[in-house]
Structures are given as structure tokens and as C-alpha cells.
């Protein structure tokens, strides 16, 4: 092996995720995570080993690289895997091609032109329905027929490590007749994953479930921040607005669909039967372990949630097929988030709304404090990895600190 990869590293030889990094002497550019290091692909290109226009590797987003198409991006990934395992490859004896991750700054991996958030976990949708509507009829009549989603704000998607300020807006206090304005008192995270579109379509075209994975480049961890009290007041009749558009945080490394191939699993049985355009063949869910930590300011990390991406009722192929069935066009870099990923057990709930059951069951932390929702100074960290037959493919983390309202 050209470079040492620690055991149980998220960034094993089986992974090779792509991202954008910079250092004091290297401008933002394309790299891949290898263990605790980053392989600088712009520097590798100077060895004249690639058969495409390598100017795309010097860009500050992955969009142009992704737009080359999977025939090229898959070959780049396979070449890197081969070179890393060959002690006589083009990478041998060239430590200058590698940068320690600890010495690099990570940037938004893609320019996100459009962002859609889905609502595709039946466990999450059921929990929310029980709390806010009818415990006996928690799901709305359309939920098992369409992958529910809404168009979110792309400009406020940020990369791991960037802090956010507590948002402000209108809320309606219990028993009040008129709304008040101020910082949210119910700031929440939502444990999600997001996929990045890898091909453009034209207005009027649609993508089938059979074709969908050709249009997905890879995935990131996604924390879709939410202000629950603002949301409760504003979401009728048109859905999320200020309660959601203030920030969403993503992990910096994009894990390719090819890296996730060994971790395919069957999804839940969908009843009633879906309409023909949403039908699909094969295993379209992915066994990816997920967890969430809360770290109080200056305190110790507390893992409060263990969930898994395999729980999703609506899979990514169905989401993309539904999104485009009416002719809506997509572009390289567009991001689509899964919606909160909750499991059947209480410790697998993917939001504070569920974990603390709307504040009635506070979550106890190690320092003796409790959380109904996220407090100023708290840092929320999400991690994810898939593991099978000695292969580990991870996403690293998305970590965000909450600062007081401005």
C-alpha cells in the first residue's frame, strides 16, 4: 500500500470518496480521502495519467468533474484504487501528492443549484402524525402513494464545521391568540442523507426507476435543521419555509454509488401497490449505519441516536422518478435529501422532536443536563458508515455548532 490506511477507517481502499479541499499553499481543488490523508488529484494530473481535460480537477466544486460522466469518474476511482495498492505505481515515492486531512480545509463539494427534501421514512412520518394529527390515522392519505417532498433553499446548504445562528421567526405560543416574533425555542436536527445528481435532463424529460441510479453520482450525510415552533405556525397551507430554509449541513466527502454497491439491501414491502412509474426491480436500499451526537459547549459527546438508511420506505430511485415524472429537469449538482431517517426503536428516532417526544420525554446527557431540543452552544455531529465482509465505507461526519441568535 502506497500510504497507510488505519484499520476501521471510513476512507478505506473500498471507498475513494471525492471532495474539495485547500491548504495554505494549495487553492481549492478536487481530492479523494484515503485514510487520514487526501490525495490531491490536481497534482496527480500533472503526471499526465488522465485522459480527459484535467482543468476540472482545479475547480472549487466537483460539478464539472461529475459532468464528465460515470464512464470517466468510475475509471478515475478504479485507477486510484489500483495505484494505491501497487508499490510501483505512478503514486510511488511521491509524498507531495498527499495532504493530511488535519492540515486541510474542506469546502462545499458541489455547487447546489436546486435542493429537494423528501419525507420518506414511514417511521418518522408516523411519529409526526401521531404527535400533530391523529394517533389512529397518523399518515396522510397520499403518503403511501407518492414520495412526498418540497423544494428547499439551496443557498443555505453549508459544509461540516460551519456554525449556524439560532433562527428567528413567528411562533404562536400555547393559548395565545396572536403570534410573537423571536428566536426559535425548538431548534431541532434531522438525520438525513442526501444524493447528488450526476447528469442533466432537459425540461419535459423524465427519469425512470430503472435509469435513476445512472443519474446519481453519490451521497453525503445531511442535517436538515428545523425550527419546530416556527414550522408549526407557518406550514399550513404551503409547508416548510422559514422553519427550514435557514441552514442545512452536509458532510464534505461524496461517497460514490459504486462504493456503496456491496451494501444494497431490500427495502420494506410497499402496500398498497405503487403506481407503475414507481415500481422498481432489485435491491434499492442501502445498509448504512447512522448515529447522532450532541456535545454541550465545553462538554463531552453524547450519542443519542442509532439509525440506518435501510429503513427508508421510498428509495432514491423512486424519489428521482417521481421528481421528474412531470418533466421537471435536473442539473448536475442538484441535491435531494431523504427526509428524517427513523427506525422502529426509540433510540433510532432521527430528530429531537421524536427522541424527546415533543418535549415530554427529555433526553438525559452525561453531565446531568437534559435536552428537549438543541440549545445554544451545542454541537450536533452525525456519522455514517457501511460495513460488510471486511469492507468499510464511511462518510466521515457532519458537525455543526449552534450559536445564539443574531
Domain boundaries, the chain: 18-106, 115-403
Which residue of the set 14, 37, 124, 322 is catalytic? 124
Cis omega (within 30 of 0) for bond into 237: yes
On whether the CB atoms of residues 111 and 333 are closer than 8 A, the answer is yes
Query: Residue 133 has what pLDDT?
Result: 87
Q: Which portions of the chain are predicted below pLDDT 70?
A: none
Domains 18-106 and 115-403 share a fold: no
Using CA atoms, how far apart are residues 273 and 143, in angstroms rounded to an integer? 12
Topology (CATH level 3) of domain 115-403: Fumarylacetoacetate hydrolase; domain 2 (3.90.850)
Query: Residue 84 has what pLDDT?
Result: 98
Residue 340 CB-half CA count within 13 A: 26
On whether the CB atoms of residues 312 and 271 are closer than 8 A, the answer is no
263-293: b (≥16 Cβ within 10 Å) or e: beeebeebeeebeeebebeeebbbbbbbbbb
DSSP characters over 3-52: S---TT-SB-TTT--EEEEEETTEEEEEEEEETTEEEEHHHHHTTS--SS
Query: Residue 360 has what pLDDT?
Result: 97
Write down the pTM of the prediction. 0.98
- CATH superfamily of domain region 18-106: Fumarylacetoacetase, N-terminal domain (2.30.30.230)
On whether the CB atoms of residues 105 and 29 are closer than 8 A, the answer is no
* Catalytic site includes residue 107: no
- Three-class secondary structure of residue 220 per DSSP: strand
CA 98 from chain centre, in angstroms, equals 26
Query: Residue 4 has what pLDDT?
Result: 95
Amino acid at each position: 500500500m502506497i500510504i497507510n490506511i488505519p484499520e476501521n477507517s471510513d476512507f478505506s481502499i473500498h471507498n475513494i470518496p471525492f471532495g474539495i479541499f485547500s491548504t495554505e499553499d494549495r487553492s481549492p481543488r478536487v481530492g479523494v480521502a484515503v485514510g487520514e490523508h487526501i490525495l490531491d488529484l490536481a497534482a496527480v494530473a500533472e503526471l499526465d495519467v488522465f485522459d480527459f481535460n484535467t482543468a476540472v480537477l482545479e475547480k472549487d466544486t466537483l460539478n464539472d468533474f461529475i459532468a464528465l460522466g460515470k464512464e470517466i469518474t468510475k475509471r478515475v476511482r478504479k485507477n486510484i484504487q489500483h495505484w494505491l495498492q501497487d508499490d510501483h505505481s505512478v503514486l510511488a515515492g511521491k509524498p507531495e501528492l498527499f495532504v493530511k486531512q488535519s492540515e486541510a480545509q474542506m469546502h462545499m463539494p458541489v455547487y447546489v443549484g436546486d435542493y429537494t427534501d423528501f419525507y420518506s421514512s414511514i417511521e418518522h412520518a408516523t411519529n409526526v402524525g401521531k404527535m400533530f394529527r391523529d394517533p389512529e390515522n397518523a399518515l396522510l392519505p397520499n403518503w403511501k402513494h407518492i414520495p412526498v417532498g418540497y423544494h428547499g433553499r439551496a443557498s443555505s446548504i453549508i459544509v461540516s464545521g460551519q456554525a449556524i445562528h439560532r433562527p428567528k421567526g413567528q411562533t404562536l405560543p400555547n393559548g395565545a391568540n396572536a403570534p410573537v416574533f423571536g428566536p426559535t425555542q425548538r431548534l431541532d436536527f434531522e438525520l438525513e442523507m442526501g444524493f447528488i445528481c450526476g447528469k442533466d435532463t432537459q425540461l419535459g424529460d423524465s427519469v425512470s426507476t430503472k435509469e435513476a441510479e445512472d443519474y446519481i453520482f453519490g451521497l453525503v450525510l445531511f442535517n436538515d435543521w428545523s425550527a419546530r415552533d416556527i414550522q408549526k405556525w407557518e406550514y399550513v397551507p404551503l409547508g416548510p419555509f422559514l422553519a427550514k430554509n435557514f441552514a442545512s449541513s452536509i458532510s464534505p466527502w461524496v461517497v460514490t454509488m459504486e462504493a456503496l454497491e456491496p451494501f444494497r439491501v431490500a427495502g420494506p414491502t410497499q402496500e398498497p401497490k405503487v403506481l407503475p412509474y414507481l415500481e422498481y426491480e432489485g435491491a434499492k436500499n442501502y445498509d448504512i449505519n447512522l448515529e447522532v451526537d450532541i456535545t454541550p459547549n465545553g462538554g463531552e459527546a453524547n450519542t443519542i441516536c442509532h439509525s440506518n438508511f435501510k429503513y427508508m420506505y421510498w428509495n432514491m430511485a423512486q424519489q428521482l422518478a417521481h421528481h421528474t415524472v412531470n418533466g421537471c429537469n435536473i442539473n448536475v449538482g442538484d441535491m435531494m435529501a431523504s427526509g428524517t431517517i427513523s427506525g422502529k426503536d426509540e433510540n433510532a428516532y432521527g430528530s429531537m422532536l421524536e427522541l424527546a417526544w415533543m418535549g415530554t420525554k427529555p433526553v438525559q446527557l452525561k453531565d446531568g443536563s437534559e435536552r428537549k431540543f438543541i440549545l445554544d452552544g451545542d454541537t450536533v455531529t452525525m456519522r455514517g458508515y457501511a460495513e460488510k465482509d471486511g469492507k468499510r465505507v464511511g462518510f466521515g461526519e457532519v458537525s455543526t455548532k449552534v450559536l445564539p441568535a443574531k
